[in-house]
């Protein structure tokens, strides 16, 4: 064998290796980045520019009308004080909130107020309402959002 045959052989091997690499890399599935999806809580915290404490009991409220509205409620009962905070992303309207229990008893929490691009309700009571597990946001007597602790 002479130098010319060796060079031609090396060129052919390099071309073959390049072709194999090209076809193998083009047939592998390309991993697409998964878009980060924010939870309802993260979206509402960003909208209201607040961070809800992690140690509170939470309820995510879902839209009962088929729309895109959402809300999150947090509650705590410490030292004889019951506190509930509700952050809602709903269309402009007037809203009230209430709690209910398994027996059908309800407690009206009051009206939500406009706050930082959404609606907010802050409720306090000396009564322990932890047995009331269902939270509803209503407009004109219709339940818009509902969720359970």
Tens of pLDDT, residues 124-138: 999 999 999 999 999
Q: Could you tell me if 24 and 44 lie in one domain?
A: no
Q: Could you tell me if 5 and 21 lie in one domain?
A: yes
Q: Could you tell me if 53 and 16 lie in one domain?
A: no
Q: Could you tell me if 20 and 70 lie in one domain?
A: no
Q: What is the mean pLDDT of residues 86-95?
A: 94
Q: Could you tell me if 6 and 53 lie in one domain?
A: no
Tokens of 111: 């009206």
Q: What is the mean pLDDT of residues 1-18?
A: 78
Q: Could you tell me if 60 and 103 lie in one domain?
A: yes
Q: Could you tell me if 99 and 128 lie in one domain?
A: yes
Q: What whole-number distance in Å separates Cα of residue 98 and Cα of residue 141?
A: 11
Q: Which of 34-43, 44-53, 72-81, 91-100 has the lowest mean pLDDT?
A: 34-43
Q: What is the mean pLDDT of residues 101-120?
A: 93
* pLDDT score, position 14: 84
* 9: containing domain: 1-32
Q: Could you tell me if 47 and 27 lie in one domain?
A: no
> Model's pTM, two decimal places?
0.69
Number of folded domains in the chain?
Answer: 2
- Specify the DSSP class assigned to residue 30: P
Q: Could you tell me if 54 and 117 lie in one domain?
A: yes
Q: Could you tell me if 69 and 26 lie in one domain?
A: no
Three-state DSSP at 31 gives coil
Mean pLDDT of the chain: 86
Q: Could you tell me if 45 and 104 lie in one domain?
A: yes
Q: Which residues contact 84 (CB under 8 A, 6 or more apart)?
A: 73, 74, 75, 99, 109, 121, 122, 123, 124, 129, 135
């Amino acid at each position: 064998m002479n130098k010319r045959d060796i060079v031609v052989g090396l060129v052919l091997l390099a071309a073959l290796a390049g072709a194999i690499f090209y076809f193998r890399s083009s047939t592998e599935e390309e991993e697409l980045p998964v878009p980060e999806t924010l939870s309802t809580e993260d979206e509402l915290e960003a909208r209201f520019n607040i961070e809800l404490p992690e140690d509170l009991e939470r309820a995510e409220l879902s839209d009962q009308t088929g729309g895109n509205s959402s809300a999150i409620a947090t509650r705590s009962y410490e030292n004889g004080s019951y506190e509930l905070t509700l952050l809602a992303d709903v269309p402009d309207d007037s809203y009230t909130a209430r709690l209910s229990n398994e027996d059908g008893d309800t407690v009206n929490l009051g009206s939500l107020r406009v706050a930082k691009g959404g609606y907010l309700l802050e409720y306090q009571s000396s009564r322990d309402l932890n047995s009331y597990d269902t939270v509803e946001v209503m407009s004109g007597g219709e339940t818009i959002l509902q969720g359970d602790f």
